[in-house]
Amino acid sequence: MGGNYSAMDPMEVPVPDLEKLFERDGYLKPYEREIRRRYACYKDIWDRIESWDGGLEAFTKGYKYYGPQFNQDGSVTWREWAPGAHSLHLRGEFNGWDSKSHPFAKKEYGKWEIQIPANPDGSCALKHDSRVQIIVNDNLYRISPWASYVKPHEGFTYQHFIYKPEQPYKFKHPKVDKPRSLRIYECHVGIATSEGKVGSYNEFRENVLPRIKKQGYNAIQIMAIKEHAYYASFGYQVTSFFAASSRYGTPCELKQLIDRAHEIGLYVLLDVVHSHASKNTLDGLNEFDGTNACYFHDGPRGTHSLWDSRLFNYSEIEVLRFLLSNLRWYQEEYQFDGFRFDGVTSMLYHSRGIGEGFSGHYDEYYGLNVDTEALIYLMLANDIVHSIDNRVITIAEDVSGMPASCRPVREGGTGFDYRLGMAIPDMWIKLLKEEKDEDWKMGHIVHTLTNRRWMEGTIAYAESHDQALVGDKTIAFWLMDAAMYTHMSTLSEPSAVVERGLALHCMIRLITHALGGEGYLNFIGNEFGHPEWLDFPRAGNNSSYHYARRQWHLVDDELLKYKFLNEFDRDMNHLEEKYGWLRSDPGFVSCKHEADKVIAFERAGLVFVFNFHPYQSFTDYRIGVNVSGKYKAILCSDSKKYGGFGRVEPDGEFHSTQQIPWGNRNDSIQVKYFVNHSEGYWDTLWK
């Protein structure tokens, strides 16, 4: 039946575990025909690829066919896909930059090939770190889409350099197992230095990885790895997909970084951009063959109107080969453990999500606005990377809430493991920007933190790189603003602004961590309340690096209050490692009291209690619990350890249940002293 699924009546298409999907979400049943149709399209492409010579194994290793292939006899076979080109030539240091001496031969299906013989002494003509260039149609200068190393040459334009060192780096440590509780440290190598410059892979390995490990995170998500000519694009305008960015160092140095991360037990995620590509032509993928199409859609469908970038044509087999091979390249060549897919909402819909509100009605996800070709690519990508390594984790940056995105493909899902809980940081920033503390709605906070699809993993976060970018501010800066310049010293006079800021910074993080999902993410530096914003050097700021760095001295200085936030973040992560609330069932919320501004819930055998009231404290406050016994406080933002007043300390004092049902729970405890703008949670101690 291989290759014939799309010709069948969709209701006859076999989807192996579809009933599991309907058991989990009965609202999907009316859309069974469309779910089966999508699966049929996916299965058709899968079977077609498997039927070709080498099957999926060869198809997903396009980097071993295209680009320069170095043969044992010293010769080089170089292939490209350029269906719209009339001619291709290769020039470089190896031939004295002769533009005509080395033409490619045209093959079938838009492929081109050239054989470069070895030198008379048997050595390879293409030397390590030598520069090469492809000329299309005699006058268009291009970089190979499969280039593995590019760097600027004589200006800002990037050029292809052969990367074949005599002693390539060999990994010493195996990949780590998939974390049961995912605590992600989102990071960017270039900004990870405190100096006004671009940081390096080596500096990150030596200086930042130890901080991350000590802080209790078990995964890093590295941004802006694929080469991007424009640094200020934050890595989201990719120009060379197979080239790790040379502005931070060499490919071998990136491998050393990843190897070291594995050595200390950190799972490594790559921030992958397959939703669009830079419009650059001289050093990008755009118009590679001299046409407006090639890897992208022609016409308006091929350009993103807001991002001013090119959109891939996922219906083209060679585009699928390119993108799927790109994932495998980073899995195998660089030993990345998993992927965070950027811009998934833009991929999923013909509207690119522009102006879409996404009410949650299922018609929005199963109508004509869905870009089926992109959806099928995501199903293929997820299924393939998981089949290569079952330890892989994939995360979708999708704001639309597409059903079954985080369910296996064999159920009719898209195959991701997690989606980002993007509504959560939006809520916190909106509250801090637009509402007074006394106007915060506890029900709204709880709804936003718990509003996720059943049995589909969500990565919760209070803020990421999006909130730190210029034009916005970090949560710490929204909370304390100018006071961060004058009252963050432990020797300065007390400041109500800073006291409130420290407390809410801790509270926002803990309730997001504990209630918002099945994973947690923090952006580099925000764990200690990094001030101000993030802004890369560009024409608009006189090419300054002042805001494109991390001021580590702030948290390292014992006389500054940043250490309090850092300590709370560390203890929160280590407690999650001990008790495992992220890998537990969602929390049961027993209290969301609007007048008292109190939220209480249980998860993983713990009781979390938050008092968001700006000025009201409580004594003998009753909290419902489901398990009778004795409870003790083990974390509280009012502790002096975190810059609080010490009115409530995790000092081992027990709170016994009183056999009084409360808040739809079997029993309850009374919290002796419950201060405003602080919170504690209690670990169950069995009788």
Concatenating the DSSP letter of every residue in 371-398 gives -HHHHHHHHHHHHHHHHH-TT--EEE--
* Confidence at 357, pLDDT banded by 50, 70, 90: confident
Residue 2 has pLDDT above 60, yes or no: no
Residue 677 has pLDDT above 60, yes or no: no
How many contiguous H segments (helices) and E segments (strands) does the chain have? Answer: 17, 29
Mean pLDDT, residues 513-524 taken together: 98
User: Residue 686: its pLDDT value, please?
Assistant: 31
Q: Are β-strands 267-272 and 240-244 bridged in parallel, bridged antiparallel, or unpaired? A: unpaired
Residue 685 has pLDDT above 50, yes or no: no
* Confidence at 652, pLDDT banded by 50, 70, 90: low
From the list 675, 645, 678, the residue with the least C-alpha distance to 506 is: 678
Residue 528 has pLDDT above 50, yes or no: yes
Share the mean pLDDT of the chain: 94
Measured distance CA(257)–CA(244) in Å, rounded: 13
397 has catalytic annotation:
yes
Measured distance CA(237)–CA(366) in Å, rounded: 30
Residue 3 has pLDDT above 60, yes or no: no
- CA-CA distances (angstroms) from residue 303 to 279, 297, 341, 355, 431? 9, 8, 19, 17, 35
* Confidence at 435, pLDDT banded by 50, 70, 90: very high
User: Residue 345: its pLDDT value, please?
Assistant: 97
Residue 132, beta-bridge partner list: 92, 160
User: Residue 683: its pLDDT value, please?
Assistant: 42
Measured distance CA(346)–CA(41) in Å, rounded: 20
User: Residue 592: its pLDDT value, please?
Assistant: 97
- Please tell me which residue in 342, 398, 463, 576 is annotated as part of the active site: 342
Measured distance CA(627)–CA(668) in Å, rounded: 9
342 has catalytic annotation:
yes
CA angle 200, 322, 52 (to 5 degrees): 145
Q: 496-515 and 423-434 helices cross at what angle (nearest 10)? A: 160
Measured distance CA(265)–CA(275) in Å, rounded: 30
Residue 305 has pLDDT above 50, yes or no: yes
Place of tokens 């406080």: 633
Residue 507 has pLDDT above 50, yes or no: yes
Residue 304 has pLDDT above 90, yes or no: yes
564-601: per-residue pLDDT in tens?
Answer: 999 999 999 999 999 999 999 999 999 999 999 999 99
User: Residue 470: its pLDDT value, please?
Assistant: 65
Residue 498 has pLDDT above 80, yes or no: yes
- Please tell me which residue in 318, 397, 463, 602 is annotated as part of the active site: 397
User: Residue 472: its pLDDT value, please?
Assistant: 76
* Confidence at 5, pLDDT banded by 50, 70, 90: confident
- CA-CA distances (angstroms) from residue 357 to 31, 324, 343, 351, 400? 21, 31, 16, 11, 8
From the list 445, 452, 372, the residue with the least C-alpha distance to 597 is: 445
Task: Among 122-126, 257-261, 619-623, name the one with the lowest average pLDDT.
Answer: 619-623
Concatenating the DSSP letter of every residue in 289-321 gives TSSS-TTB-SGGGGEETTTTEE-B-TTSHHHHH
